């Protein structure tokens, strides 16, 4: 890693670290074979020797002109001059590229610090350094949050997500099931809040999203180094590529009872998900339904009527706002099996 130049103790150290960067990530074949210091040495030496040769050949040419010896040939002077200009240009372009690269890296590092992917620390020599944070579930959640906000993806979002995590912490489920994984954002939030030795099964019917989520879950639990032990803070997560309406009645035998069910698939199917899951629910199980505000008068009407008035649940509405939109009300319907 290259130190943020504003924190550099002295220029030597900055140069050394930039050299390390240069050696670590050459961008093409020439850079790979000839690291920048060697290239600068060659082009600098080439340029200086061509300059000397230009001066010598020009002096000789001028004296031959003066004494009219008849040997006056300007081609040597021109060749040396072109050599000087060519090597000199390579030397300055290479130096400029290095400067641009240092400035670009600095900009990237500052942006990474600002979004929380990089941390600034003081090393044993008292220098202020920066390093990328470890890839773990927090890191993946932050990244998904940026992606979700930018592309307005229908994740639960940080506000309702915090409510969901609080509910999970209070419930302490041994087995939780989520309907509708998408990229695994809410999956990771739930898994973080569960006891670490518990299990979360998340169901996603679209194979592309199931693959995306599997990748993020893998990264969140394994991080960026295969040798590293798994993140011990979060529950075991399984993403199943499956339609919840088929998987709930058929694939849960032997899995134990569901202590927490999170519904975030198609609003018009929430009641069908719940009915399919009811035989699997543990006594006192918690059923949490997302988007119980915005779809209250639409797709969730039947579902809300059922959990509020069937007598099987004690149900309440937790008010919040729609993901990425503080000006639009939405919330979670939280129903406890009686
Ligand atoms: C609103 S998104 C889920 C967002 C996710 N829970 C989060 O907060 O990050 C809904 C997802 O449910 C999936 N889905 C819809 N119907 C489903 C079903 N019957 N079974 C499983 N997944 C379903 C969709 O493919 C979509 O990816």
Pocket test for ligand 1, best of 181, 216, 323, 330 (most atoms within 8 A of CB): 181
* pLDDT the model gives residue 7: 45
Cα 214 to Cα 2, 140, 188: the distances in Å are 33, 12, 11
Task: Tell me the mean pLDDT in the region 135-143.
Answer: 88
List pLDDT tens digits, range 154-206.
Answer: 999 999 999 999 999 999 999 999 999 999 999 999 999 999 899 999 999 99
**Alpha-carbon span 50 to 77, nearest angstrom:** 10
Separation of 102 CA from ligand 1 center, angstroms? 43
Pocket test for ligand 1, best of 176, 180, 289 (most atoms within 8 A of CB): 180
pLDDT surpassing 80 at residue 217: yes
What ligand 1 atom has the least distance to the C-alpha of 245?
Answer: 19
Instruction: Indicate the domain borders of the chain.
Output: 5-132, 137-337
User: In terms of pLDDT, which residue wins out, 307 or 234?
Assistant: 307
Closest listed residue to residue 17, CA positions, set 164, 9, 275, 143? 9
**Crossing angle (nearest 10°) for helices 137-151 and 207-222:** 140
**Alpha-carbon span 124 to 278, nearest angstrom:** 58
* pLDDT the model gives residue 16: 54
Exposure b/e, 62-88, CB count within 10 A at least 16 = b:
eeeeeeeeeeeeeeebeebbebbeebb
List pLDDT tens digits, range 31-83.
Answer: 777 788 889 999 999 999 999 999 999 998 888 877 766 666 788 899 999 99
The three-class DSSP label of residue 13 is helix
List pLDDT tens digits, range 302-338.
Answer: 999 999 999 999 999 999 999 999 999 999 999 999 9
Q: Whose CA is nearest to atom 27 of ligand 1?
A: 182
- Ranges of H-type helices in 72-126: 75-115
**Alpha-carbon span 336 to 248, nearest angstrom:** 19
pLDDT surpassing 70 at residue 229: no
What ligand 1 atom has the least distance to the C-alpha of 209?
Answer: 27
Pocket test for ligand 1, best of 176, 182, 272, 292 (most atoms within 8 A of CB): 182
Q: Whose CA is nearest to atom 1 of ligand 1?
A: 154
For the four alpha carbons of 253, 256, 262 and 268, in that order, the dihedral sign comes to positive
Pocket test for ligand 1, best of 137, 265, 274, 324 (most atoms within 8 A of CB): 265
* pLDDT the model gives residue 4: 46
* pLDDT the model gives residue 99: 87
Separation of 243 CA from ligand 1 center, angstroms? 10
Residues contacting 192, CB < 8 A, separation 6+: 137, 141, 165, 233, 234
**Alpha-carbon span 97 to 30, nearest angstrom:** 14
Separation of 182 CA from ligand 1 center, angstroms? 5
Cα 71 to Cα 64, 66, 68, 76, 80: the distances in Å are 7, 11, 8, 12, 18
Backbone phi, psi, residue 195, to 5°: -60, 140
Residues 45, 46, 49, 52, Cα dihedral to 10°: -120
Residues with CB under 6 A from ligand 1: 154-156, 179-180, 182, 185-186, 203-206, 209, 243-245, 264-266, 269
Separation of 266 CA from ligand 1 center, angstroms? 7
Cα 167 to Cα 3, 23, 65, 200, 217: the distances in Å are 42, 50, 95, 15, 21
Question: What's the chain's average pLDDT?
Answer: 88
Confidence of residue 6 (pLDDT cuts 50, 70, 90): very low
The three-class DSSP label of residue 174 is coil
Exposure b/e, 238-255, CB count within 10 A at least 16 = b:
ebbbbebbebbeeebeee
The three-class DSSP label of residue 183 is coil
pLDDT surpassing 80 at residue 14: no
* pLDDT the model gives residue 221: 83
The three-class DSSP label of residue 118 is strand
What ligand 1 atom has the least distance to the C-alpha of 154?
Answer: 1
Task: Tell me the mean pLDDT in the region 209-215.
Answer: 94
Under 8 Å between Cβ of 205 and 242: yes
Closest listed residue to residue 39, CA positions, set 26, 51, 27, 30? 30
| Cβ neighbours, 10 Å, residue 96 | 10
Q: Which CATH class is domain 137-337?
A: alpha beta
């Amino acid at each position: 890693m290259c130190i943020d130049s504003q924190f550099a103790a002295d220029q030597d150290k900055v140069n050394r670290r930039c050299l390390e960067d240069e050696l670590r990530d050459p961008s093409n074949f020439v850079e790979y074979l000839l690291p920048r210091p060697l290239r600068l040495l060659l082009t600098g030496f080439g340029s200086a020797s061509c300059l000397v040769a230009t001066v010598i050949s020009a002096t000789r040419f001028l004296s031959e002109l003066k004494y009219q010896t008849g040997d006056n040939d300007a081609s040597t002077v021109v060749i040396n001059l072109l050599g000087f200009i060519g090597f000199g240009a390579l030397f300055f372009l290479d130096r400029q590229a290095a400067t641009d690269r240092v400035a670009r890296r600095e900009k990237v590092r500052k942006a990474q610090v600002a979004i929380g992917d990089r941390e600034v620390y003081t090393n044993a020599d008292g220098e202020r350094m920066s390093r990328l944070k470890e890839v773990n579930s927090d890191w993946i959640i932050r990244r998904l949050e940026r992606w979700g906000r930018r592309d307005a993806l229908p994740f639960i979002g940080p506000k309702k997500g915090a409510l969901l995590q609080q509910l999970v912490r209070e419930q302490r489920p041994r087995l939780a099931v989520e309907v509708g994984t998408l990229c695994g954002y809410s999956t990771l939030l739930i898994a973080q809040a569960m006891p670490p030795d518990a299990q979360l099964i998340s169901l996603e019917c679209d194979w592309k999203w199931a693959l995306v989520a599997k990748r993020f879950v893998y990264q969140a639990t394994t991080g960026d180094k295969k040798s590293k032990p798994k993140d011990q803070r979060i529950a075991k997560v399984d993403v199943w590529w499956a339609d919840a309406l088929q998987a709930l009645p058929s694939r849960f035998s032997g899995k134990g009872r569901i202590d927490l069910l999170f519904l975030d698939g198609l609003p018009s199917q929430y009641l069908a998900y719940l009915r399919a899951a009811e035989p699997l629910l543990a006594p006192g199980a918690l059923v949490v339904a997302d988007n119980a505000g915005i779809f209250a008068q639409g797709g969730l009407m039947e579902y809300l009527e059922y959990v509020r008035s069937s007598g099987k649940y004690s149900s309440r509405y937790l008010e919040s706002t729609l993901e990425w939109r503080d000006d639009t009300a939405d919330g979670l319907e939280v129903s406890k099996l009686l």
